[in-house]
Structure 1
Amino acid sequence: MRFVALIITILLAPQAWAGGSWKEFWSADGTIIRGWLETPEGEGPHPAVVMMHSCFGPINDQGELAAHDRSWADILTKNGYAILAVDSYTPRGAGSLCQERNRPVLASAERPWDAIGGLVFLQERLDIDGDRVGIMGWSNGAITSLWTARDGASAASALEGPDFRAAVAYYPLCNDVLSRIDNYMPRIPVLLQIGADDDWTDPEPCRELAAQTQSRGGDLTLAVYEKSHHLFDAPDMPVRPFMAVNDTQETGLIEIHFGTNETTRVQSIERTLDWFAEYLR
């Protein structure tokens, strides 16, 4: 635990670009997409995490990983995991979709196939241990993580090799699952993390989803962080308002808030690393 704490301390500030490259691969739906691949120091094969971005997309205006995604790439690679940050948007001609009502790329439709495609791509590499791969998503990408982890997920039918071992979902829109399926059951362990003050993706449906899933014997762990908004795990981002939509709104934009809570950011990083250490090591 001291080693993990040291790594977290080092990574509190934004990190310099650590090396890596964009790789094209096939989504399991047959679309050519891409992902940012980085591997940790040392010889492989390495355990790995497929990262699924939020509705903002994974890149900044310079075409590099956005600060939030960059911070998690640093955290994971410094702790011995390769990462593949899947870009579901750019290859399909989309940018940020957070203010788009009719989104051309959906968390529950195209993106689970992208996640499975990323897993297959990693399993074809000699420097990756294809039997020790997790999936991790934020907001829109967290919805994708939940759908990808679902027992009976259509996209999982494309798998010929090992499945994902575990999932982490940060502040998903849990209503997206509750409103469309009666008996959600994950086939892999899921860690769901959300802020108690999240006014973009309400934590109450996530509490309901967790309670229902656990009552059926499903392996879904919920962590709710007090005084934390959407993107509470982002580095150095003061809480600010933003006009956005989500799938529970019928019309227009509403004002929501997002930004860092440094205390719960560190807590959630440690919980995430412990989760992956349990299932991917």
Structure 2
Amino acid sequence: MIAWLRLLVFATALLVAAHADAGEPVHLTSRDGTVLNAVLIRPAGEGPHPAVILLHGCGGRDARAGGLDPRHADWARRLAEAGFVVLLPESFTSRGQGPQCAVRERHILPWRERRADALGARDWLAAQPFVRADGIALMGWSHGGSTVLATADAPGFAGFVAFYPGCSRTLRAPSFAPAAPLLLLIGEAEDWTPPGPCRALGERAGPVVTYVGYPGAYHGFDAPGARVRLRTGLAFTVRGDGTAHVGTDPAARSDAIVRVPAWLAERTGR
């Protein structure tokens, strides 16, 4: 009987831990009026805590089998353990859309809908008693990284982090003046979102942008345990043939895992 009770307690603990890792589902309103589904993960302690909004790429926030995509889950856990409130809004499924990586005529754009989503997420976090309104940062990958660039001129953020964004459109703009420091990380072997425009953007913007290029790394270099492979059928790639390499680069991932939380802590006063 005692052994059975111990097993029940252990199983219950596992379920509670799994639920905590999955986060809490919440809803918030984008600046364009769309109601977004989001996942909230809170650190230990009542706070108030600094916070990070995580913006998914063109593949969406979640894994096909359900739950957060492994990269998003990994970063959310690490940032929550570092003392940040983490919020992950979903821009595509909230509007009845699926993954956008193969879609050329996109109706959800970084500088339009997704910028509105980022601002709405910030509004929601700033109203929460467990969040420090002056310590909210914005971080995104690929399509979400491009959204970070498109939102970087907005006041109210303590810092911005963009992983392998598309920088060409921002580089063509007359000016680029982030309202807070921006950390830009990209693989120098990128053949999906080219590093050249991002490097040039950082040089033009000056010290407000910290550019980090990882030699030999491809798109998705920070994913946990993803083998390097060639993806096909993509809408926009460097070669224009719909193919690009994706996968983990252990050295780049290790550096980012250390660099990003430390950089965010410095910017948010963690």
Same fold (TM over 0.5): yes
Asked if structure 2 preserves the Cα contact closer than 8 Å seen for 1:99 and 1:253, the reply is: no
1:164 aligned partner: 157
CA distance in 2, matches of 1:117, 1:247: 30
1:134 aligned partner: 137
Asked if structure 2 preserves the Cα contact closer than 8 Å seen for 1:195 and 1:227, the reply is: yes
Structure 2: unaligned runs, 5 residues or longer: 1-16
CA distance in 1, matches of 2:74, 2:223: 8
Q: Which has the higher helix share?
A: 2
The percentage of counterpart residues that share the same residue type is 37
Q: How has the CA–CA distance of structure 1 residues 176 and 168 changed in structure 2, closer, same or farther, with 3 Å as cutoff?
A: same
CA distance in 2, matches of 1:49, 1:186: 17
1:270 aligned partner: 258
CA distance in 1, matches of 2:27, 2:35: 7
Asked if structure 2 preserves the Cα contact closer than 8 Å seen for 1:68 and 1:235, the reply is: yes
2:216 aligned partner: 227
> How many Å apart are 1:277 and its aligned residue?
1.1
Q: Deviations over 1:62-87 (max 9, x none)?
A: 33111111111111011111100111
Is 1:188 paired with 2:180? yes
> How many Å apart are 1:248 and its aligned residue?
7.5
CA distance in 1, matches of 2:22, 2:132: 20
> How many Å apart are 1:178 and its aligned residue?
1.5
Task: Pick the aligned partner of 1:176 from 169, 173, 181.
Answer: 169
Q: Deviations over 1:247-274 (max 9, x none)?
A: 878xx75210000011110101211111
Task: Pick the aligned partner of 1:212 from 177, 189, 204.
Answer: 204
CA distance in 2, matches of 1:102, 1:174: 19
Name the SS of the counterpart of 1:178 in structure 2: helix
Q: Deviations over 1:198-247 (max 9, x none)?
A: 10011011111111111xxx501100011100000000000011121228
Residues 1-281 of structure 1 mapped to structure 2, 5 A cutoff: 18-150=21-153, 153=154, 163-179=156-172, 181-214=173-206, 219-243=208-232, 244-246=234-236, 253-281=241-269
Name the SS of the counterpart of 1:169 in structure 2: strand
Q: How has the CA–CA distance of structure 1 residues 247 and 93 changed in structure 2, closer, same or farther, with 3 Å as cutoff?
A: farther
Aligned residue pairs: how many? Answer: 251
Segments of 4+ in structure 1 off by > 4 A? none
> How many Å apart are 1:19 and its aligned residue?
4.3
What TM-score, normalized to structure 1? 0.85
CA distance in 2, matches of 1:147, 1:26: 19
CA RMSD of aligned residues (A): 1.7
CA distance in 1, matches of 2:236, 2:133: 34
Q: Deviations over 1:165-217 (max 9, x none)?
A: 000000011102123x1211111100000001010011011111111111xxx
Opposite residue 171 of structure 2, the aligned amino acid is L
> How many Å apart are 1:16 and its aligned residue?
5.6
Which structure has the larger Rg over C-alpha atoms?
A: 2
Name the SS of the counterpart of 1:113 in structure 2: helix
Asked if structure 2 preserves the Cα contact closer than 8 Å seen for 1:46 and 1:129, the reply is: yes
CA distance in 1, matches of 2:116, 2:122: 10
Opposite residue 226 of structure 1, the aligned amino acid is P
What TM-score, normalized to structure 2? 0.89
